[in-house]
Amino acid sequence: MIEDLSAAIRPNLVSISNPVRSDDSQGLAVAIAQAADDRKGGNILILQVIGISYLADYFVLVTGFSRAQVRAIAAAIQDRAQQQWQRSPRRTEGQADGTWILQDYGDVIVHIFLPQQREFYNLEAFWGHAERIPFAPTPGS
pLDDT at 140: 60
pLDDT digits (tens, 9 = 90+) for 57-84: 999 999 999 999 999 999 999 999 999 9
Calpha distance 123→132 (Å, rounded): 13
- Please give the Cα distance from 104 to 89 (Å, whole number): 5
User: What pLDDT score was predicted for residue 138?
Assistant: 78
Q: What average pLDDT score do residues 9-25 get?
A: 51
The percentage of the chain sitting over the pLDDT mark of 90, rounded to a whole number, equals 76
Domains of the chain and CATH, by start: 2-12+42-133 (3.30.460.10)
| pLDDT classification of 21: cutoffs 50, 70, 90 | low
User: b/e for 46-77, b at 16 or more Cβ within 10 A?
Assistant: bbbbbebbeebbbbbbbbbeeeebbbbbbebb
| Predicted confidence band of residue 22 (pLDDT cuts 50, 70, 90) | low
Alpha-carbon distance of 57 to 21, in angstroms, equals 9
Q: Which has more confidence, 119 or 9?
A: 119
Angle at 3 between CA 99 and CA 66, to 5 degrees: 15
What spatial distance separates the first Cα and last Cα of the chain, rounded to whole Å?
A: 40
Residue 133 gets which letter from DSSP?
Answer: E
Identify residue 54 by its one-letter amino acid code.
Y
For range 131-137, the mean pLDDT: 91
Q: Are strands 100-104 and 42-48 parallel, antiparallel or unpaired?
A: unpaired
Does pLDDT of 5 surpass 80?
no
Taking residues 110-129, what's their average pLDDT? Answer: 96
